[in-house]
Amino acid sequence: GKFPSRICIIGATMDMGSMTIEGGLTADYVRGTWDPAELPGIYQELGCAADNCTSHFQEFTQHATWFCNGSANVFEGGNWIGHVFPGTLFIIWSAHWLLSFVRQYYEQLLNSEPYTSRTCFRVLWFPKHWPLESAIKVSLPPLCMLLELWLAHKGGYRRLICGGEARAGHMIGNHINNWQHAAMYPGFIISGMVELLSLKVALPQGLSQAVLAVGFVCEALLMGLHKKHAPRDVMVHALLFYGMMSSAIFSGLEAGWPHNPLLTAGRIAGTALQGAWFIATARILYEGKDAWDVTGGDMAPVMYMPILFLILALVMIVVITLAFLVGFFIYRPPRPPVTSTTLARREGAMGLPDRPQPEFQ
């Protein structure tokens, strides 16, 4: 039936207009026509405890979405595996980059060659001329998109628009998250295609790095523009945006300065950081830990998130430094000869005054 233009949820009101709503006890609860004696039944129907249900209802008032039959989508899309899976992929990808980057850096050092950044590397023990990483970039993201929009759902394809239901022509609220997550991948598909094309065509220097940067920018904007209003959701997605954007910035800088290994290290650290924060997001939002509960407006968990994010960032820096130390002891590169130029650079880095130059008659 019809319900009034104002919905009452845990004492909060919001103007939603007149809308048809169907369903059982949950629909009555959203409509405001439920009997307090039925509250345990509402919790059972939603599959959550009292405190947990309360926090979800509060979040619904801040960013409401709806099912096609007009009922409220109190539990928005997204789950634990939906964040752990891409996070794990990014960590594996960054680990592959790190090992290959250290190997390339020291091999070029031994051969007295200048370092030149790359966006794809040899995979494990496979032959160097096999572009496996680029092929994986082209083939794996479409599979991830299919999982987001079709294969991982019992109801089949996650269509975007309601059909002949009460909200015909409107977007389906509980499918939007899947579409947002699927939209993260096309940029990386294009990056892999450019890398494969560069094997046969002389492309401009730095194009691979620039296209990879665009891929990172696309996913960063999707997270940064993810319209959330609850403080916990805002902070989670903001920190994810920073991790992704750091990868984009370093990749873009590599396009202009391909011989600076520190930029490659920064790109790898940013990629690992966003992977780690994806997994942290899953634990924060979906494991129901008391430490991350914000019921009652508790801001302490939200205030701690930047601390955890910075800890993870520092861990990535330490891991990259240790990888270089291991590579140094494995490859044992010769020390560069000390010249007046290198000595001046060292003294300048330490803040020492310039040496007086001899005067020649």
pLDDT tens for the 361 residues of the chain, in order = 333 333 333 333 333 333 333 444 444 444 444 444 555 655 555 556 555 565 665 565 556 777 888 777 766 556 888 899 899 999 999 999 999 999 999 999 999 999 999 999 999 888 888 999 999 999 999 998 998 888 777 777 888 899 888 889 988 877 888 888 899 999 999 999 999 999 999 999 999 999 999 999 999 999 888 767 788 989 999 999 999 999 999 999 999 999 999 999 999 999 999 999 999 999 998 898 999 988 778 899 999 999 999 999 999 999 999 999 999 999 998 876 656 665 565 555 555 555 554 454 4
For residue 160, give both structure tokens: 């975007």
DSSP-derived letter for residue 351 is T
* Largest distance between two CA atoms of the chain: 103
Q: Are 6 and 16 in contact (CB under 8 A)?
A: yes
| pLDDT value at residue 1 | 32
Q: Distance (Å, rounded) from C-alpha 195 to C-alpha 257?
A: 18
| pLDDT value at residue 315 | 97
Give the closest residue to 198 by CA, choosing from 186, 213, 212, 184.
Answer: 212
Q: Are 55 and 49 in contact (CB under 8 A)?
A: no
Q: Distance (Å, rounded) from C-alpha 204 to C-alpha 212?
A: 14
For residue 57, give both structure tokens: 């209802």
pTM to 2 decimal places: 0.78
Q: Are 285 and 78 in contact (CB under 8 A)?
A: yes
Helix (H), strand (E) at residue 177: helix 176-182
What are phi and psi for residue 72, nearest 5 degrees?
-75, 135
- Residue 48, CA distances (Å) to 22, 55, 65 in order: 20, 10, 19
| pLDDT value at residue 207 | 96
| pLDDT value at residue 66 | 77
What's the chain's Rg over C-alpha atoms? 26
